[in-house]
Amino acid sequence: MDERQHDTPPPWHAMGPDEALQRLDSGPDGVSHEQALQRLAAHGPNLLLQAEGRPWWKRLLEQFNNILMVILLVASVASLGLGHALDAAAILGVVLIIALIGFVQEGKAEHALDSISDMLSPKANVVRDGKRRLIDAETLVPGDIVLVESGDRVPADLRLIEAHRLRTDEAALTGESEPVEKSTAPVDVGVELGDRHCMAYAGTIVVHGMAHGLVVATGARTEIGRISELLRGVEKLKTPLLRQIDRAGRVLALCILAAAALTAAFGVIVHDQPLGEMFMAAVGLAVAAIPEGLPAIVTIGLAMGVQAMARRNAIIRRLPAVETLGAISTIFSDKTGTLTRNEMTAQVIWLPEGPIAIDGVGYEPQGDFHALREGQRNPTPLDLDAHHALRHFLKVGVLCNDAELAEEHGRYRIHGDPTEGALVVAAAKAGLSAPALRGDHNRQDAIPFESERQYMATLHDVDGIPCLLVKGAPDRLLTMCHRVRGDQGDMPLEHDEWQSHLHELSSQGLRVLALAERALPGLATLEDEHAEQELVLLGLVGLLDPPREEAIAAVKQCQSAGIRPVMITGDHAVTARAIATQLGFAQTERALSGHEIEALSNDDLKSVILDVDVYARASPEHKLRLVMAMQAHGGICAMTGDGVNDGPALKRADVGVAMGIQGTEAAKQAAEMVLADDNFATIVGAIREGRTVYDNIRKTITFLLPTNGAQGLAIMIAVLAGGLLPLTPLQALWVNMVVAVTLGLALAFESAEPDIMQRKPRDPDAALLDLFLLWRVVFVSLLLLAGVFSMFTWVLDTSAGEIELARSAAVNMLITGSAAYLINSRFLTASSFSLGGLFGSRPVWIAIGAVMALQLAWTYLPFMQVIFGSAALGPAHWLAIAMGSVAIFVVVELEKWALRRLHGGRDAHGRGSKARRDHAEAR
C-alpha cells in the first residue's frame, strides 16, 4: 500500500477557506493546467481500489460444481474400477476440457461486463486557470476547485469555500440517513466526521443546493477510501431467465438421472445384462440427455446483448435489464434533451412594449434583434443602445444564471444548463459579456433552480442596492409578480394579457421563461419568501429546442412495435403538446398537468392514463405515480430520469433509464441502464436489442434440446430393447461438447429478424419454452432419433456387425443432422428456404465448418479412434449422412410451413402476411 496513505491529514475542517486554499497553493481560479499535471503525477489518480473479482482458480474450480461434472467424475472412477482405464482417462480428459471451455466462456462474459463499467466513470466540474471545465473525476488533484450541485456525487474530499443551501446525503460514509446541512464555517478540530459541516466527502450525494469546494484529498486518501471501497460497474445479478433455466435444468437433470437408473435396472433385470455395462449405459444416458451447455450459452447471449447495447450508447448496469427491455410496453420519457436536442436558442423576447425576434440558431453569438408587429418581423434591426429595456432584460438573464459560453477550436460551447446558456448567447448577440457583467455585479447569495421550485433567484449589488433577480417558469412567476416594468415605469400586471403572450409562445413549441426583479435594500441573505412575492415582471423569453430527428423516427418505430411513448416534462402543457405533435405522438390533444395529477386518486389516474400521452409541469413524485398506474394495467415500463429526486421512479420502473450526459450520479445509481447520449432513440434501439437477445436465446434452446433428446432416447430405447447402444457415453460427451460450444453459440450472433419491431411486446409472464417450442423440440428429437437409428442399423447390417463403424456413422449423422437443423433454427417460424436464409449468417457457416473439421478429425485420426472408439467411414456412408441431413432440413421447413398455414396466414409471432412479405424481401 502507498506510504502516503498513513499520513495524518491536516484538520481541514478546523481552518478557514482562505487558509485551506493557501496551504494547497490554490485560489478562486483553481490550479493551473501544469500544476494539475504535476500533482496528478505525485498523488496518483483519484480512484478507489476496485475490489478484486473472483480469482481465476476459484472460477475454474466452480466449473466442477454441477451435477453433470459430478456424474462424470463418478463415471470416470467407476470405469477405472471396472478395468476400463482408457475410458476413465478419456472421460477425465473431456471433463477437464469442458471445465476449461466453461471457464474461458465465463471469463469472456465477465470481461464484456467489466469493460462496460469503464464507460460509467464519473465527471467533475472544476475551475482551472480561472475557467470552468468538465473533466474525468479520475484526474482531480488536491488544490482543484470543484463545483457540485444537487444530484452530484461528491468526487473527492472537499473543503467548502462557497455553499448555497447545500445538503448532502452521507449515508454511504456515516450511515446517517438524514441529509446534512453544509456551510463554510470551520468547526472544532475534534468533531466527528458527521459533524464537519464545512466538508463534503467523496462518495456522498448532494441532494440540494450547490457549492464550490477545494479538493483536499483524492483516491485512497479520501475518508471513504480509508474505510472501504466503493464499487461501481455492472451488477452481475442472476437474471430471472437464468434462474428459470437453472431451476428447470436441475429438475430436468434429476428426472434424467431417475430415468437412467430405471433404464439400467430394466436392462439388468429383464435382459440379464452385466451390471457394469448397464452402469455405463446409465451414465451415457445421463450425459447424453442433460443439456449442460445451456446456462453458459444463455449467459454469453446476455453478455453479448450488453455489449451490443453499449455499442449503441445504452449502458446496462444490471444484467436482468437486458431481458426486461425486450418486454417493455411503455416508455415514459423526459422531453428536454431526450426527445429534443437540448440545444436551446432564445428566439423571442416579449417585453411590455411588445415582442422582439432574435436571429441565429445555435450557440454562435451572432444575430440581430428585430421588433415584431402582428407576427411580422421589422426588417431593420433594433438599435440596441437605444433599447434600454431589452439590454436590462438581457443583463438580468445573464446575472441570474450559472452557464458559461466558451469558444473551443472555433466552435462555441455551453458549460452548464443549456436553458441558461441560451440567455448568455442572447446577451452576447447584443454585445453583453457575461464574465464582465458578473464581475461588475457581485452575486451575494442564490437560490439555485430546482424542478420542484421552478425558479432561480440571485441577489446582486446593483449600483450599491441589493437587488433580487428571478427567472423561472412563467406560470409560476406570474403568481409571484404584482407589477410589470414598462417604458414609463412600473405598471400593474395584467395577468390575462401575459397568459396570452405565454400561450402564443408555448403553442409554437417554445420553452418559455419569465424574468423578474425586486429591490431589497439591506438584504444580505436570500430566503424563498423574498423571491416569491412582490416581484416586478420584466418580460418573457421563448427558447427553441427542436425535436431530435432520430426521436421522430424512434417514436414511429415504437408505434409499430406496440410500445407507447409517453412524454413527462417540466415544461408548460402547451409547449409539451406542440413538441409531442412534432414528434408524431398519438394522443396530443390533451395534456395532464402536475396539478391535475395531484387532484386525481390512484384509481382515477389509472383510468385516465391510457388516454393521455403528455404530462406537463410534472415533478418526480408524479413520475412515480404514473409508473405505478401503468404497472397496475400490467404494463412493463421504462422510465427516464436525470435528477436527484427521480430515484424512486427509476427504481420502481421495470427498467430505470438515467441520462449519461445531463443525468446526476444519483439518477445513474438508481437506474438499470444509462444512456451515453441522452437520446430517446437509444432506448428504442436497446429494446430492439433486448428483443433480439431474447429471440436468440429461444432459438438456441430450441436448437440445443433436440440433440440431447435424440441421444437420450437412442440409448434408452437400445437398453430397453436389449440391443446395442448406438453411441457410447464417451461419444455422447463428445457430441454434447462439440454441438454446444460451436453450433449452439452461432445463434447468439444472429441479427434481429427484420420484423422484430413489428411484433407486440412479449408477455413477461409467458414461459420461455411455450407449447409451440416444446412441440418443435419433441418433433426434431424424433427426427434426429430416426436418423441415428436408421444409420446405425443400416451400417451394422451392411458391414457385418462392425459396431465401431456403425456408431461412427450414427454420431456423424447426429451432428450433421444438428448442423442442418441449425439453419432451420435461424428463424423459428419464418422460412429458412431462401438464399439469405441458407447463407445469410456467417457465424452459422463458420460453426458448421468448424464442426465438420472436428468430425473429420474425430472419424479419421488414429488417436481419436483409440480414445472415442470411432472408425473411418466410406463415401457411401457420407452420402447417406448428407442425404439424411438434407431430409431433416426439408422436413423441418415443411413443419414450419404447415404451422404458418395452421395459424391462418399469421405466424406464431402474430404478424400478418404483409409483415412476412417484408421479412422475406429483407432477407
Q: Around 587, how many Cα atoms within 13 Å sit in the side-chain half-sphere?
A: 14
- Shortest distance, position 378 Cβ to ligand ATP, whole Å: 27
- Shortest distance, position 349 Cβ to ligand ATP, whole Å: 14
Q: What one-letter code names the amino acid at 818?
A: S
Cell of 225: 477510501
Cell of 107: 471469463
CA distance 347 to 329: 37
Strands (E), 563-668: 564-568, 591-593, 614-616, 637-641, 655-659
Chain centroid, CA 583 distance in Å: 23
CA dihedral 461, 467, 470, 475 (to 10 degrees): -170
Judged by beta carbon, residue 317 or residue 511, the one nearer ligand ATP is 511
- Shortest distance, position 512 Cβ to ligand ATP, whole Å: 6
Burial (0-12, 13-18, 19+ Cβ within 10 Å), 118: exposed
- Interface residue list for ligand ATP (CB under 6 A): 334-336, 417, 419-420, 449, 451, 454-456, 471-473, 511-513, 569-572
- Shortest distance, position 510 Cβ to ligand ATP, whole Å: 10
Residue 884 has φ and ψ, to the nearest 5°, of -60, -40
DSSP lists the bridge partners of residue 640 as 657
Judged by beta carbon, residue 455 or residue 734, the one nearer ligand ATP is 455
- Shortest distance, position 575 Cβ to ligand ATP, whole Å: 7
- Shortest distance, position 544 Cβ to ligand ATP, whole Å: 13
Q: Is 755 a catalytic residue?
A: no
CA distance 517 to 859: 89
- Shortest distance, position 852 Cβ to ligand ATP, whole Å: 56
Judged by beta carbon, residue 157 or residue 417, the one nearer ligand ATP is 417
Q: Around 396, how many Cα atoms within 13 Å sit in the side-chain half-sphere?
A: 27
CA distance 451 to 644: 10
Judged by beta carbon, residue 32 or residue 508, the one nearer ligand ATP is 508
Nearest to 830 by CA among 700, 922, 710, 693: 922
Q: Which residue is nearest to ligand ATP (CB)?
A: 570
- Shortest distance, position 345 Cβ to ligand ATP, whole Å: 15
Judged by beta carbon, residue 512 or residue 609, the one nearer ligand ATP is 512
- Shortest distance, position 366 Cβ to ligand ATP, whole Å: 24
DSSP string, 195-229: G-TTEE-TT-EEEEEEEEEEEEE-GGGSHHHHH--
DSSP lists the bridge partners of residue 212 as 147, 162
Judged by beta carbon, residue 90 or residue 456, the one nearer ligand ATP is 456
Judged by beta carbon, residue 571 or residue 753, the one nearer ligand ATP is 571
- Shortest distance, position 173 Cβ to ligand ATP, whole Å: 29
Q: What one-letter code names the amino acid at 170?
A: E
DSSP lists the bridge partners of residue 318 as 235
Residue with cell 395584467: 494
Judged by beta carbon, residue 296 or residue 459, the one nearer ligand ATP is 459
Taking the CB of residue 889, how many other CB atoms lie within 10 A of it?
21
- Shortest distance, position 352 Cβ to ligand ATP, whole Å: 19
Nearest to 716 by CA among 708, 250, 803, 810: 708
CA distance 788 to 550: 53
Nearest to 134 by CA among 122, 151, 118, 117: 122
Judged by beta carbon, residue 336 or residue 731, the one nearer ligand ATP is 336
- Shortest distance, position 688 Cβ to ligand ATP, whole Å: 24
Judged by beta carbon, residue 102 or residue 570, the one nearer ligand ATP is 570
Structural element, H or E, at residue 8:
none
Set 152, 334, 475, 907: catalytic member: 334
CA distance 134 to 124: 6
Buried residues in 393-421 as b, exposed as e (16+ CB within 10 A): bbbbbbbbbbbbbeeeeeebebbbbbbbb
Nearest to 747 by CA among 829, 834, 827: 827
Quick check: 667 and 153 in contact, CB under 8 A?
A: no
Taking the CB of residue 775, how many other CB atoms lie within 10 A of it?
12
SS (H, E, C) 401-430: CCCEEEEECCEEEEECCHHHHHHHHHHHHC
Judged by beta carbon, residue 400 or residue 795, the one nearer ligand ATP is 400
489-492 vs 199-200, strand pairing mode = unpaired
Judged by beta carbon, residue 143 or residue 663, the one nearer ligand ATP is 663
- Which positions are catalytic? 334
